[in-house]
Every structure is written in structure tokens, then in C-alpha cells.
Structure 1
């Protein structure tokens, strides 16, 4: 049997099992203090998400303000007040880990495909392979530079545009990345669904979660990235 805190965290993360959902629902219906705990956890997560890009000072002040907002009229804090700062700190680390440092599979960039064909190496293909090597070694500054040059020489090659968008995500230049990925996401090329997914990633990093949800919902069931998109969408709800 999971603890109350574990049930709340799994509820916020959207990963409750059927058994845990029953336990959560029972506590919700019978224990008003449990409802208050859930409300505070949700508020903390919302506040922390909004302040991810702020420095430590303002973030600490925001946490103090969040704590004050849950005091009673008499100035007393809920019985579990001693847990609020550790919970907030843990939530902060959790969110920073998930949304800012690209851990796990949700934000992981795919490998860039090589296009080497025996006996068919020219200057353009050689440049592309240099970009492949840089991208797959996570040298996104270099891969971005090469892909921008290739795209400027031939803007009809959507593959250059797609990987340039991903390379910019690797550099954490999310707004610029969407400039290249959005036309693909709104088009009908083979990159449509994957582009929508990574546009959603860029939106999440920019704090535009509603836009991210819309993009994830546009990914078709036949897409290879559909299941991954649904899992990320569930995390956002």
C-alpha cells in the first residue's frame, strides 16, 4: 500500500494504477485534509513550473509566498506544515530534472541518420556527414552551423530543416527551433508527426504547456512516435 504522499505524487504525474486510483478516490471522498494536501501539491508544482527560469532568490521567495497562502485565518499552518519545504525542494528538483535537463526518453533527441552510399560522396554529402557526426556526438553548436549552411544552399531538403530544428533544441534554443519545425509540423511530409512532437517539447520548455498539448494531440495513431506522445501528453494533464 502506497503512502499518501506517494499517491499524491503519482496522481499529479498521471501514473496511478487501477488499485492506487481506488485508494486515492477513497481518501479523496473520506478525508478533507487529503484534499487539501493534493491542492497544495498541485499549487506548488504550478508555481515551480512558472519559476523554472528564475534565479534561486526569487524561487525561494515564491515558495515562501506559496506557503503563506495556505495559512489559516488564525495564522496556523496545516498539521503537515513541516513537510512543505522538503516537498517543495523535491518537487523543484524533480521538475528541473524532467523539464530542463532532458533526462529520460521523453525529451531525448533521436540519432541523425547517415546518408552515406558507397561511391557517392560529394561536397554536400560530406558536409551532411559532418553534421551527422557532430549531432550524434551532441556537438549541437557545430551541427547547427553545418545544417544552416546546407539549408541555405538548398532549402528544398526537408531533412536539413528537420535536423536543424532538433539541433537547435539540443542547444536549448527552443524558440528558434520552432521556426524550422513548425512548417514541417503543419505540412504533410514524412517529418510531420515527429516535428509536432519536438515542437511540443520546445513549447514545454518555453512554459507554453497548452500549446504543447495541442501539438501532441495532432500526432496520428499510425505514427511511430504516437505512444511516446501519448505518455508525454498524460504527464501534462
Structure 2
């Protein structure tokens, strides 16, 4: 395929072809297998980008930029001796510009996701005598991301030590991971109202719980309550910018 074919693909998808051009295009699809395969690939990529951008205005802007860049950089040159050299250079420039536009548009219009912000290290729970075995089970299950097993262990531990903030917090995180948001948020709200070392962490994860549920407004409001001295303040500010 040459560059003009890709411009033709875009014009067809945008409905910019005249009836005569459209008929000729569709006739070529029927008799030229390579042309048809290239068009289908281009159409699927275009559809994928529209879906990923998730914003009609952003998608239209991206496609218009792509179309304009294609016309600008894929024009035929008059000097035959320099065709190969300049064609390679033009492809490189056009590809770079299109890539930059795509990344910029995607970053500006895509919604943040829980997995991008839910980063936590391996935990090491405080040893408490007769609870050692159960604590080790909870710790190992959490660190290996077996959150269902971790939840069972944390639940049993809290029957013996219900006011333990450390257990409450990590049980809440396990429940967010399991999409058991009601249990998670009950624990996190309780911690956020207390004065333990997990107070600000609880607020941060309460915001992330709403983010995972795509309740962006609630997440944003909670994020704004995180104080500047909190460990997760900088991450909270970054997420606020993405949600506003």
C-alpha cells in the first residue's frame, strides 16, 4: 500500500468521498485482496482508537490531525533523485508526529484506573504470640495476592483483636481487591475517623475504592481531604488532576 491509499481509507471512513469515488473504492475492494486486507486492518485500528479514547470530540480531533498530517507529509516530491531519501525522512517525521498526537490525546482524555495507583509493598504484620500462625497466613496470602484467603485470615484475627488498625487497613485493601466494596469502605471510613497511623492511608484507599467503581466524583471529593503531610499526598494530587 502507498500513502495515498491510507488517505483514501480515511476519507472513505469519514464519508468524504464523492459518490463516484466511493463506488470506485468499493469496486476495488472486491477485486484487490491486498487492498481489502489493508483497509480492514486500518478500519479496525481506527475503531480501536475511537473506543480507547472514549471521547467523541477527542477522537474526531485525533482523526482530523491524522488526516492533515498525512496530506502534509505524504505529498509527492518533484525531485526524482531524492524520492527514496526524503520519503524515508517524511515517514519518520509523520510517524513521530502522529504518535505524539495519539499519546497526548489519549493521556488527556482517558480516565485513570485503580491499578495505576494501587501500589503497595509486601506487608510484615506485627507478631502477637498465640496469633502467630494466623498472622503468617494472612501475611503470606496478602503478599501473594491471594486476597480471598487473606480476607478469611484477617476476619478471624479481628474476632480476637477488633480494634487493631493494622488488621483493619489490610483487610480493607484485600476487600477492595476482591470488589467487596461495602466491607472495605466500612473499615476505611472507621479508620479515617480515628487517629491511628493508618488514618490518611485509609482516606487514600477510600478514594481508590470509589475510583475502582468508576465513581469519579466521590473519589475526587475524598482525594481533596488528604492533608499535605500524608504519605500519599503527591499521588493524590496527580490523581486529582486526572479526574478534574
TM-score of the aligned structures, taking structure 1 as reference length: 0.56
SS of corresponding position for 2:242: helix
1:224 is aligned, of 224, 231, 234, to 231
Alignment partner, residue 189 of structure 1: 196
1:107 is aligned, of 114, 118, 140, to 118
2:222 is aligned, of 206, 215, 234, to 215
SS of corresponding position for 2:125: coil
SS of corresponding position for 1:131: helix
* Cα distance change, pair 98–213 in 1 and its aligned pair in 2 (3 A): closer
* Cα distance change, pair 122–203 in 1 and its aligned pair in 2 (3 A): same
Structure exhibiting the larger radius of gyration computed from Cα positions: 2
How far apart are 1:208 and its partner, in Å?
2.0
CA distance in 1, matches of 2:111, 2:147: 20
Alignment partner, residue 150 of structure 1: 157
Deviations, residues 107-152 of structure 1 (Å, cap 9, x unaligned)? 2244322324xxxx62213211210111011010010000011112
Q: Counterparts of 1:9-158 in structure 2 under 5 Å?
A: 85-91=47-53, 98-99=112-113, 102=115, 104=116, 106-116=117-127, 122-158=129-165
Deviations, residues 77-97 of structure 1 (Å, cap 9, x unaligned)? xxxxx9974433223699999
Q: In the alignment, is the contact (CA less than 8 A) between 1:109 and 1:170 conserved in 2?
A: no
CA distance in 2, matches of 1:96, 1:148: 37
Q: In the alignment, is the contact (CA less than 8 A) between 1:165 and 1:180 conserved in 2?
A: yes
Please say if 1:202 is aligned against 2:189. Answer: no
Alignment partner, residue 180 of structure 1: 187
Q: In the alignment, is the contact (CA less than 8 A) between 1:109 and 1:166 conserved in 2?
A: no
Q: In the alignment, is the contact (CA less than 8 A) between 2:111 and 2:243 conserved in 1?
A: no
CA distance in 2, matches of 1:196, 1:110: 18
Deviations, residues 157-193 of structure 1 (Å, cap 9, x unaligned)? 1111111001111212223211111111122221111
SS of corresponding position for 2:214: coil
Unpaired segments of 5 or more residues in structure 1? 1-81
- Corresponding residue pairs, total: 150
CA distance in 2, matches of 1:200, 1:113: 24
How far apart are 1:213 and its partner, in Å?
1.2
Deviations, residues 2-53 of structure 1 (Å, cap 9, x unaligned)? xxxxxxxxxxxxxxxxxxxxxxxxxxxxxxxxxxxxxxxxxxxxxxxxxxxx
Q: In the alignment, is the contact (CA less than 8 A) between 2:112 and 2:239 conserved in 1?
A: no
Deviations, residues 196-231 of structure 1 (Å, cap 9, x unaligned)? 111001111223222211211111111111111111
